[in-house]
Every structure is written in C-alpha cells, then in structure tokens.
C-alpha cells in the first residue's frame, strides 16, 4: 500500500469542504483556496478534489447544471438542486437502507453508497418569482 503524502493544499481544500454548506464547484473551491495559496492551480484543485472523493473524504454530485458539486459531509444524505439559482442544499429526506436493497431487488452486486439528488425550485426562488 502506497503512503499518501501530506499536502497543505489538500488539507485546506478538505477543511473548506467540511466547513461550507454550499456544495461548491471546483471553480468555487479554487477561488476560495487561492486566497490562502495564491499560486495554486485549478488543475491542482481538481486533482485534490478527485483524490478526496476517491479516499471517501468528499462526495461528488452531478447536477443538471452539468457541473460537479462537492460535499465534505460524507455520510449518506439527500440533496436538493435548484433549477433556478443552481444551488445545492442538504435536505432531511430518509435514504433507503441501500445495504439491504440488493436483497429485495434481486441485485447480486454489493451496493456501497447511495446519493439522492432531488431537483426543483428552492423556497427562496419560489418566493421571489412573480405570481
């Protein structure tokens, strides 16, 4: 097993993801981390985000805006994507017991994780739309 080299930039990205609830894109993460590490490249941010996802320290969400959004909260939970403002929110909606789902749907593989993304219009956009 290869040793994972410590990276201050990766730790800054991980810390940012765990402290924000905004589910940022890589470009937003880049703009925030660039304030701390002005010489960081967008490619470095992408590589570190992908590494964190591979290690289970972040979740990557594909949304209808055709962008990947990232979440530092890694336990199974649901998300809501607003078609108007393109924000991603955590929502308190129960996720099925996916570890036992394979028993009930005749799936012979091993399900390891589940991500649910609901799509619609968030309350803020609903309240601001003309009636």
Q: Which domains does the chain have, with CATH numbers?
A: 8-128 (1.10.10.10)
Please, are residues 81 and 88 in contact by the beta-carbon 8 Å criterion? yes
Alpha carbon distance 75, 104 (integer Å): 23
pLDDT at 34: 97
Alpha carbon distance 68, 26 (integer Å): 7
pLDDT at 130: 64
pLDDT at 29: 98
User: Residue 98 — very low, low, confident or very high, per pLDDT cuts 50/70/90?
Assistant: low
Q: How many residues belong to the chain?
A: 131
Q: How many Å is the maximal CA-CA distance in the chain?
A: 60
What pTM value is reported for the model?
A: 0.84
Per-residue pLDDT averaged across 88-107, rounded?
74
- DSSP assignments along 72-119, one per residue: S--SS-EEEEETTT--EEEE--PPP-HHHHHHHTT--S------EEEE
pLDDT at 90: 93
pLDDT at 120: 94
């Amino acid at each position: 097993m290869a040793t994972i080299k410590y990276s201050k930039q990766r730790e800054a990205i991980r810390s940012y993801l765990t402290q924000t609830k905004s589910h940022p894109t890589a470009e937003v993460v880049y703009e925030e981390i660039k304030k701390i590490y002005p010489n960081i490249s967008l490619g470095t941010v992408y590589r570190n985000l992908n590494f964190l996802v591979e290690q289970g320290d972040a979740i990557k969400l594909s949304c209808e805006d055709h962008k990947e959004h990232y979440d530092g909260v890694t336990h199974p939970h649901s998300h809501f994507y607003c078609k108007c403002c393109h924000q991603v929110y955590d929502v308190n909606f129960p996720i099925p017991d996916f570890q036992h789902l394979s028993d009930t749907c005749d799936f012979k593989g091993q399900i390891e994780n589940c991500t649910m993304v609901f799509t619609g219009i968030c309350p803020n956009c609903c309240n601001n739309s003309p009636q």
